[in-house]
Amino acid sequence: QKEVEQNSGPLSVPEGAIASLNCTYSDRVSQSFFWYRQYSGKSPELIMSIYSNGDKEDGRFTAQLNKASQYVSLLIRDSQPSDSATYLCAVARRGYQKVTFGTGTKLQVIP
Amino acid sequence: DAGVTQSPTHLIKTRGQQVTLRCSPKSGHDTVSWYQQALGQGPQFIFQYYEEEERQRGNFPDRFSGHQFPNYSSELNVNALWLGDSALYLCASSAGYSSYEQYFGPGTRLTVT
């Protein structure tokens, strides 16, 4: 079982729709969760971090965390073509500095 | 405010050679982590440096080594290069050893032939 699992996609959504990206993790001791956006040929960019169960909103982005189900999601409202990128879910375990990344989900927003 | 910088941008080496990659952290950051990202994969943690010491290491062989300097900049050294070492090498910096919020540099694309 992979430590962090994501559907590789591509996930295609029309412009203006809500994109929903999902991630599961295997280590119950994980305490910190992150979403990074990576454009093709570029480095990852941190867009959201979440540490507690529930929702966290930042502009058009909402991160959702359910530790009991070991599940993290990212919602992107009013999706724009500029949101087309690979979204990486990352997890850090309590007491360890290592951040473990999933393989990423490729999102395509169709104009 | 300068972000994370890395050099060189691209590098081509031959199997068996050695390579050194360099990273300067974002202003105000003192912790540097190195990652390897193969094509189509997520970044894989190599190791982290804080206070000039390697604090944690991922599942990488001893051919991968590093260093952190008093100004917080860092180097990644890879000896005896394999074809499989071809990847994007990313440096990420953060403020403080306990911070997980990392900011990535543009990366160094290493090709081993």
pLDDT tens-place string over residues A56-76: 999 999 999 999 999 999 999
Above 90 in pLDDT, residue A102? Answer: yes
**In Å, how far is B18's CA from the nearest CA of chain A?**
24
Q: Which residues of chain A make contact with B102, given a CB cutoff of 8 A?
A: 46, 99
Mean pLDDT, residues A43-54:
94
**In Å, how far is B15's CA from the nearest CA of chain A?**
24
Shortest CA distance from B49: residue in chain A: A97
pLDDT tens-place string over residues B52-70: 999 999 999 999 999 999 9
**In Å, how far is B45's CA from the nearest CA of chain A?**
7
**pLDDT in the model for residue A67:** 93
- Lowest mean per-residue pLDDT among A28-32, A75-79, A85-89, A106-110: A28-32
- What residues of B are in the A interface, CB distance below 8 Å? 33, 35, 40-45, 48, 55-56, 58, 88, 90, 97, 100-107
**pLDDT in the model for residue B10:** 96
Q: What percentage of chain A carries pLDDT values higher than 90?
A: 83
Q: Helix, strand, coil shares of chain A as percentages rounded to 5?
A: 5, 55, 40
Residues of chain B with pLDDT under 50: none
- CA distances, A18 to each of A38, A78, A108, B56 (Å): 19, 6, 12, 38
Q: What whole-number distance in Å separates Cα of residue A35 and Cα of residue A63?
A: 8
**pLDDT in the model for residue B1:** 64
- A-B contacts at Cβ under 8 angstroms: 50
